[in-house]
Amino acid sequence: MIWVIVAGAIVGVLAVILTKLGNPANMGFCMACFERDIVGALGFFNWEKPAIAIRYIRPEIIGIMLGGFLTALAYKEFKPRSGSAPATRFILGIFMMIGALVFLGCPTRMVIRMGGGDLNAWVGLLGFIAGIGGGVLLLRQGFNLGRTTKARFSDGLVLPGIMVLLLLLVFLVPQFIAGGPILTSPAGHVGAGNSPVGPVLGIIISLAAGLLVGYLGQRSRLCFAGGVRDVMIVNSWHLGIGLVAMFAVVLVGNAVMGNFGGENGLAWSFANQPVAHTAHAWNFLGMALVGLCAVLLGGCPFRQVILAGNGNTDSVITVLGMMAGAAVAHNFGLVKAATIYGQIAVVLGLVFCIVIALKNRN
Amino acid sequence: MIEIDARGLSCPLPVVRVKNAMDGNSGDEIKVLIDTEETRENVTRMAENRGYAIVDETVDEDEEIILVLKPA
């Protein structure tokens, strides 16, 4: 248990530090937003639109996956496996991302927002718990997506390999076609260029933080959905205590750094929160969709990144599904459920999860 | 002896299946086939929390783990 507490606490510390070093407020880490930033930088959505501040090949994601990968290799836990309903997992990944982008954050960022005074995130937490509760009910009905079997060693190297390639692109930022990818955010917005320590050091610190979090995630098995789910299933706080530790550290860290109060500081409120909205129903339902998808998939977005680095190619498919989901969410304007289409997408996702779960029982 | 094949199952299905076996168990040993270290940890932790002893733990040539759990 001590590992989970240490992991949660260090993720919390690094989240506060990375925000000081240029990441958006209450967004030290976010699997959904950061995967979306990568997809945005690669030009997979809205690439001809200028000045979108969500384009950055995130060293944090690269670090977390490679940290998990190297740790699994070192501890002889890198075991490529595949074959548990990959196509279904791809769609679940898409919906998990849509739910997260409707809320504006994965469960990791939800906890960070909670520790930064954002009351909307507490509404998200209620939805997350409700979605996980629904998933647990479906598990009790016998839901499962089938077994994995052993895969080839090289299959497990695919996504870690792509991460190494992306790391080269972070530093080189080639322009493949005129005005096209690799795209970057405008000056002053997310990205290494926004870091007060300069672009190169900013990238290196973000990458190092990611590697450390990847190591901790692999050793501790930290999982935001698992933390809530295991309390419901086996009355175990083993994983949940890591989330509590992370929340506490973010809260104290924000207070110590003087982030609360002042004109642009954090405050305990619903309104005017950084990268957030106050549509309570959609904050609730967006995170309910994330929680439900996470239970059906066997892990939250953070855990999927770690597992993808550990040779679980079903998690690779899930992460790729999430990246596709980011493009879907932004191309079709589903983010924040600001349009009727975003709202339809969330409801569709919930229905899809329930139908899939009821159709996959034994 | 009750036998549960938890190989290849996503989290938390191995724990759910072992728990279900424990809930209806009147004193038999439970043999669990496992293929990841994470599952071994999860099943071991739950077994200990529920008063089961790990009476045998073997790893075969395919690195698959066989746990035998015995109720107190």
The pLDDT assigned to A188 comes to 77
Answer for the pair A289, A102: CB distance below 8 angstroms, yes or no: yes
B8, B9, B12: residue with CB nearest A230:
B12
Inter-chain contact B12–A147, Cβ cutoff 8 Å?
A: no
Beta-strand pair B65-71/B30-34:
antiparallel
CA distances from A161 to A66, A113, A158, A278, A333 (A): 9, 32, 5, 39, 31
Per-residue pLDDT tens digits for A305-349 = 999 999 999 999 999 999 999 999 999 999 999 899 999 999 999
The Cβ of residue A20 has, within 10 Å, a number of other Cβ atoms equal to: 14
Question: H-helix or E-strand containing A308?
Answer: helix A301-309
**How confident is residue A51, by pLDDT bands cut at 50, 70 and 90?**
low
Among the listed ranges A71-80, A259-268, A326-335, B46-55, which one has the minimum average pLDDT value?
A: A259-268
- A144 Rama class: left (phi>0) / alpha (psi -120 to 50) / beta: beta
Nearest to A346 by CA among A295, A297, A287: A287
User: A6 CA to chain B: closest CA distance, Å?
Assistant: 18
- In B, which residues are within 8 Å of A221 by CB distance? 38, 41
The pLDDT assigned to A39 comes to 97
Which residues have C-beta within 8 Å of that of residue A71, sequence separation ≥ 6?
A: A77, A214, A215, A218, A219
Residue B49 at interface with chain A, using a CB cutoff of 8 Å: yes
Which percentage of chain A shows pLDDT scores above 70? 100
Beta-strand pair B52-59/B30-34:
unpaired
DSSP A7-52: HHHHHHHHHHHHHHTTSPTT-S--HHHHHHHHHHHTTSSSTTSS--
**How confident is residue A264, by pLDDT bands cut at 50, 70 and 90?**
confident
Distance in angstroms (rounded) separating the CA atoms of residues A294 and A299: 5
Mean pLDDT, range A257-276, rounded to an integer: 93
Token digits for A212? Answer: 């450390």
Which residues have C-beta within 8 Å of that of residue A340, sequence separation ≥ 6?
A: none
Residue A49 has pLDDT above 90, yes or no: no
Residue A152 has pLDDT above 70, yes or no: yes
Inter-chain contact A297–B36, Cβ cutoff 8 Å?
A: no
B8, B16, B41: residue with CB nearest A149:
B8
Is pTM beyond 0.95? Reply is yes
What's the whole-number average pLDDT of chain A? 96
Per-residue pLDDT tens digits for A348-359 = 999 999 999 999
Distance of CA B23 to the CA centre of its chain: 13
User: A185 CA to chain B: closest CA distance, Å?
Assistant: 37
Please state the ipTM of this predicted complex. 0.95
Mutation site, B7, B9, B10, interface A, largest A CB count within 10 A: B10
In chain A, where are the structural domains located?
Answer: 2-359
Residue A147 at interface with chain B, using a CB cutoff of 8 Å: yes
Nearest to A283 by CA among A342, A233, A238: A342
Name the 3-class secondary structure at A67. helix
Residue A86 has pLDDT above 70, yes or no: yes
Residue A109 at interface with chain B, using a CB cutoff of 8 Å: no
Residue B13 at interface with chain A, using a CB cutoff of 8 Å: yes
User: B55 CA to chain A: closest CA distance, Å?
Assistant: 22
Using the structure block, give the residue that is written with the tokens 């072992």: B18
Residue A139 at interface with chain B, using a CB cutoff of 8 Å: yes
The pLDDT assigned to A87 comes to 97
DSSP A256-306: HTT-BSSSSSB-SBSTT-TT----HHHHHHHHHHHHHHHHHHTS-HHHHHH
Residue A46 at interface with chain B, using a CB cutoff of 8 Å: no
- In A, which residues are within 8 Å of B19 by CB distance? 233-234
**How confident is residue A203, by pLDDT bands cut at 50, 70 and 90?**
very high
- A305 Rama class: left (phi>0) / alpha (psi -120 to 50) / beta: alpha
Inter-chain contact A139–B7, Cβ cutoff 8 Å?
A: no
User: B41 CA to chain A: closest CA distance, Å?
Assistant: 10
User: B49 CA to chain A: closest CA distance, Å?
Assistant: 9
* B10 backbone dihedrals φ, ψ, rounded to 5°: -70, 155
Name the 3-class secondary structure at A114. helix
The pLDDT assigned to A127 comes to 98
- In B, which residues are within 8 Å of A297 by CB distance? 10
- In A, which residues are within 8 Å of B49 by CB distance? 234, 236
User: A76 CA to chain B: closest CA distance, Å?
Assistant: 10
Residue B23 at interface with chain A, using a CB cutoff of 8 Å: no
Answer for the pair A293, B6: CB distance below 8 angstroms, yes or no: no
Name the 3-class secondary structure at A170. helix
B11, B37, B49: residue with CB nearest A298:
B11
Alpha helices in A188-277 (DSSP H): 199-220, 224-234, 240-256
- Positive or negative, the Cα torsion across A89, A46, A180, A31? negative
